[in-house]
């Protein structure tokens, strides 16, 4: 017998152990362990694990589960949670819809603001002029003649005074404000400029509050009642976002006309020249001997307002049809239109609110399909 065939031979033992391990590796499939089993194995002490493994047979090794990670089925969602999620989604949708509606209304409002504001200002101006015309009709002929006589006297006092007439004393201001003020509001008449579709009340003075809504008569210039050696100056803003006012008088050309109405006298003026001057230059506003003039004054250029645009017209005969024409109260038609629009909008809003509320009540009273299934 050879030495390596002896049972005690170390070389023989090593060869047999290697063969046994190779056979077990080929016959036994690989096993995977779950995270829980691996964690339990890692938590055991190293020495105990080594001792147990050495004393176990190959068939007694722990068998690990082959369950792949992530295959655990999700827990069922209760019907109540589904209804709550649906209501939350509806609220979010309504909130987004409301926000978009508000943004749309604000955007449209910003776009339409100049147009709407100017239309409103024209409406107010029409009402003011209509009120003035009614008050004139209720004023006796004697009172009108007395007021016109005071205005002529004032105009005569301005002749030959030069620029000092634009620097009145407190007493002169008080006297000025009392002339031609039959309504007690400061309105003395109205100016009509057909080319720019403007009809504006004329108030005493050129305060900013006046110029924001109407035309102002420059104190120290002649009252716009006509007559020789008179030069009335009417001022107005240009380029306001809220009102057109004198916007567009730069388009007036020689030969264009405009009218001034004081009481029931309609005076017509034909444009003869246009000038652009510095604010302190009043040479073009001087009273010219024997002439009847009216100048329209506004700031220029748009947005800069560093100069003054002066459009001067000379008196021409007023056509007979214009003298006897009655004032058309556009404010009345506008009131009717505004009333109709507001009424229709209100009815539409009420119908919409009623419909939405009714649907919500129906939805709240109707049981869900989950509730039906439970019963």
Cite the active site residues. 237, 299
Q: What share of the chain is helix, strand, coil (3-state, %, to 5)?
A: 50, 15, 30
Beta strands in 36-113 (DSSP E): none
Closest CA to 221 of 229, 213, 212: 229
The answer to whether residues 203 and 191 touch, using CB atoms and an 8 Å cutoff, is no
Give me Rg for the CA atoms of the chain. Answer: 48
Helix (H, G, I), strand (E, B) or coil at 200: strand
| DSSP single-letter state for residue 247 | T
The per-residue DSSP string of 256-314 comes to -EEEEEETTEEEEEEEEEEEEE-TT--GGGPPPTT-EEEEEEEEESTTT--EEEEEEEE
């Amino acid at each position: 017998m050879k030495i390596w065939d002896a049972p005690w031979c170390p070389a023989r033992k090593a060869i047999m152990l290697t063969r046994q391990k190779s056979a077990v590796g080929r016959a036994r499939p690989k096993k995977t362990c779950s995270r829980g089993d691996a964690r339990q194995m890692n938590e055991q002490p190293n020495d105990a694990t080594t001792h147990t493994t050495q004393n176990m047979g190959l068939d007694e090794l722990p068998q690990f589960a082959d369950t792949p990670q992530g295959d655990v089925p999700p827990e069922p969602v209760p019907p109540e949670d589904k209804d709550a999620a649906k209501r939350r989604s509806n609220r979010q949708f309504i909130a987004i819809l409301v926000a978009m509606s508000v943004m749309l209304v604000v955007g449209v409002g910003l776009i339409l603001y100049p147009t709407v504001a100017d239309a409103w200002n024209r409406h107010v101006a029409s009402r003011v002029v209509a009120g003035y015309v009614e008050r004139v009709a209720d004023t006796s002929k004697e009172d009108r003649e007395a007021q016109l006589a005071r205005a002529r006297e004032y105009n005569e006092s301005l002749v030959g005074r030069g620029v000092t007439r634009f620097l009145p004393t407190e007493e002169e201001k008080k006297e000025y404000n009392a002339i031609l003020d039959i309504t007690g509001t400061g309105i003395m008449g109205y100016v009509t400029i057909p080319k720019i579709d403007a009809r504006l009340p004329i108030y005493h003075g050129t305060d900013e509050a006046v110029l924001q809504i109407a035309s102002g008569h420059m104190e120290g210039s002649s009252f716009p009642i006509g007559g020789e050696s008179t030069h009335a100056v009417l001022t107005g803003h240009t380029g306001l976002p809220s009102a057109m006012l004198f916007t567009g008088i730069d388009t007036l050309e020689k030969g264009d006309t405009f009218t001034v109405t004081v009481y029931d006298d309609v005076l017509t003026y034909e444009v003869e020249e246009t000038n652009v001057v510095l604010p302190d230059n009043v040479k073009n506003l001087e009273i010219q001997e024997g002439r009847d003039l009216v100048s329209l004054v506004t700031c220029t250029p748009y947005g800069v307002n560093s100069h003054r645009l002066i459009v001067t017209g000379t008196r021409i005969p007023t056509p007979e049809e214009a003298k006897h024409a009655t004032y058309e109260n556009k404010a009345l038609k506008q009131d009717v239109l505004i009333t109709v629009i507001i009424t229709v909008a209100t009815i539409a809003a009420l119908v919409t609110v009623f419909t939405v509320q009714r649907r919500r009540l129906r939805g709240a009273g109707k049981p869900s399909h989950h509730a039906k299934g439970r019963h």
